[in-house]
Chains A and B, each alone.
Chain A
């Protein structure tokens, strides 16, 4: 059996059991931390669809998290609090944003794509800071949260935890299915050799645009959940440094692997927490750690967990 499936089973098993284990340790703080890691993982998985599977290095992906979060927050402020309706709004707004920016950005590729996604990310960031009615630069604290059929079970505690876990599972499973489908194979072909894919009759740009839309919408959903968890939004969600953090997560975890994004997300959150508890200036260690990882540990955490001999280029 595939080793990565075992890893995934262990991971999700642990996450499922966590709400029963945590009271034994007695820590609500820890559960917040796990939710944070899971939210990071959801956004990272969606970015992996772009970078890992599609070879499109975007440096503006966090902007979609911001768009999703703000779409949700603004709808909440205006009295919409049904979670299904909120989901619909979030998907529509992020999808539309991605359709416009994606159709322009995908006219370029490679380094130019990186730059243009960065530019769109900055535009979105500045748009968010200009929403004076919704907090502007300072962000917005939300006094009402999403409900499901009028009930507030999803507003905290185990309800929220399992909502995030369920979304993480769905994203993990969905993106893996997508990458294994015919669509995913075309995307991969276009990553490795766009001219050849084009010559074989596949409209490369259209395939990439669809992947871009899917990735943006998933990131938007993670923004929705983030609002529900943090009860707060701010434009800081959409800065380019956040997009950089997402890239760090998927590269450390292992690009285009089954569990890479999840492992990377938990690794980052744990490192931040552990290093941060030793010294306040943990970034002094984290920065060089990144550099060393790039120089010496190519392939990410997923590679370290793989059996010897199976360490080819992950597909």
Chain B
């Protein structure tokens, strides 16, 4: 195990963590403010990736595609809120699970019909396609640095918005008691719509910046949705700060675990046994983390104030 490899793994972990944060941020806000469990959040990530692909094909410009994708993802989120989710806020969790499960099935199939079942990919934009020499032996792609940076910017923006603006104050108040906020004359319906739209847009943004790194395929959002759930449980439901730290933690644990589990196990057990259970144990690590958090610290690492 060289330091170079370890550094690369850490950077990859950070980058994966940032991606997770972008997805988890919307999920945790929607849950914290509206008590709504949205399984379709992962599929919005997939939609973002496909939109990026389509717009790159259409316009030929990555930056233009990013902007157009964000706008489309926002509009799609608002439409879903208006026609479906709005009617489910007061229903029990089971109805929410079922309806959003239906949306997943529909959008996954739609992606398959429009773009085909094969995996697609797009190239990162020209000016971000090089790599940077970090140390003598280590080069790291610029594009991946940019995704880490983008995640940081979004995190900072969300933090400032929620802590220091009027709408952020309403979101915090809404998380504590939506009814009371509504009674004070705030249009809570519109607040919900904004939170939902922004959440959908962030998930879409994650999909867009993931498009040049990962394969674009139908169902790509299903597994990352579950990981995003792990993040928001670990961080504390409704807490943006919690989501941020948990996303980085989960990203690092997952990335390091996948590369190192077998190696570490083989120092204790015989190599063939380690080879067999190493990968499985690595994929399980984050779920073990989440189960442990739920059992020993059910409110999460950094619980949001007032969320019950």
Contact = CB atoms under 8 A, between A and B. Distances in A.
A248 B105 CA distance: 12
A57 B99 contact: no
B102 A288 contact: yes
Nearest to A125: B283
Interface in A119-163: 119-120, 122-123, 126-127, 129-130, 132-133
Interface stretch (B67-75, B202-210, B291-299): B291-299
A286 interface: yes
B102 A108 contact: no
A51 B94 contact: yes
A130 B282 CA distance: 11
A88 interface: no
Given A116-B291, A130-B277, A123 B98 contact: no
Contact of A57 (B91, B94, B298): B94
Q: From A120, A290, A298, name the one whose CB has the most chain B CB atoms within 10 angstroms.
A: A290
A289 interface: yes
Interface stretch (B11-19, B56-64, B226-234): B226-234
Contacts of A255: 94
B106 A283 contact: yes
Contacts of A247: 94, 97-98, 101
B103 interface: yes
A244 B101 contact: yes
B298 A108 contact: yes
B287 A287 contact: no
B284 A290 contact: no
B233 A112 contact: yes
A255 B39 CA distance: 21
| A108, A244, A288, most chain B CB atoms within 10 A | A244
Contacts of B288: 123
B166 interface: no
Nearest to A252: B98
* Interface size grouping (class) on chain A: 35 or more
B94 A122 contact: no
Contact of B276 (A115, A132, A241): A132
A187 interface: no
Contacts of B298: 107-108, 112
B280 to A, nearest CB: 3
Interface string A262-304: 0000000000000000000101101111110111001000000
Contacts of B106: 283-284, 286-288, 291
A298 B88 CA distance: 12
Interface of B: 37, 39, 84, 87-88, 91, 93-95, 97-99, 101-110, 112-113, 222, 226, 229-230, 233, 237, 276-277, 279-280, 283-284, 287-288, 290-291, 294-295, 298
Given A251-B95, A281-B109, 20 more contacts: A51-B94, A57-B97, A108-B294, A111-B93, A112-B294, A115-B294, A119-B291, A122-B226, A123-B291, A130-B277, A130-B279, A240-B226, A244-B97, A247-B98, A255-B94, A287-B109, A294-B98, A294-B102, A295-B87, A298-B95
Interface of A: 51, 57, 59, 104, 107-108, 110-112, 114-116, 118-120, 122-123, 126-127, 129-130, 132-133, 240-241, 244, 247-248, 251, 255, 281, 283-284, 286-291, 293-295, 298
19 contacts: A59-B97, A108-B294, A108-B295, A123-B288, A126-B283, A126-B284, A130-B277, A240-B226, A244-B101, A251-B94, A251-B95, A286-B102, A286-B105, A290-B98, A290-B99, A290-B101, A291-B102, A293-B98, A294-B98
Give me the 5 closest cross-chain CB pairs, A-B, nearest first: A287-B106, A130-B280, A290-B102, A283-B109, A287-B105
